Amino acid sequence: MTVTTKTAVRTTNAPQPAGPYSQGIEANGFFYTAGFGPQNPATGAVADDVAEQTRQVLRNVQAVLAERGLTMDDCVKTTVHLADLADFAEFNEAYKEFFSEPYPVRTTVGSQLANILVEIDVVAALPDGK
C-alpha cells in the first residue's frame, strides 16, 4: 500500500480557514488550494462588484502559492464558483489579468455562495526542483 505524503501550507497573507481545512496542500507533485473568497486578509473587507472580488480572490490564491514558491504560471486547473453566471463577462475580464498562456483549464459553475460573488480554488503543478 502506497502512502501519500501531504504537506500543509499556511500564510497570514490570505484569509484564515473558517473550519477544519488547510489553505493549501502539497501532495504527489501537485499543490492544491482551498476555495478562497474575496475577503481582504488584513481588513476582512469585501468589494461590492464581481471584478474586484475576483481580483481579491486571486490575490489570496497568489499569497498561498507564493508561500510554497509558486506563481499563477504554475496553475494547471482552476475551479470557479459564481453566485450569478450573468456576471461571467465581468469576472472573466478580471480573471485574465492574473494568468498568461497557456491558460490553466477551468471549470466555472453557478453556486449558492454566502454573501460573496465569487470563490476560486486552483491546482498547481510543482516544477522539478521546487
Q: How many degrees, rounded to 5, is the angle at CA 4 between CA 59 and CA 37? A: 20
Q: In tens digits, what is the pLDDT along the chain, a chain of 130 residues?
A: 676 789 999 999 999 999 999 999 999 999 999 999 999 999 999 999 999 999 999 999 999 999 999 999 999 999 999 999 999 999 999 999 999 999 999 999 999 999 999 999 999 999 886 6
**HEC-encoded secondary structure of 24-82:** EEEECCEEEECCECCCCCCCCCCCCCHHHHHHHHHHHHHHHHHHCCCCHHHEEEEEEEE
Q: Which residues pair with 108 in a beta bridge?
A: 80
Q: Rounded CA gap, 82 and 106, in Å?
A: 13
What domains appear along the chain, each with residue ranges and CATH number?
A: 7-125 (3.30.1330.40)
- Residue 129's pLDDT is 60
- Residue 81's pLDDT is 98
Q: Rounded CA gap, 67 and 62, in Å?
A: 9
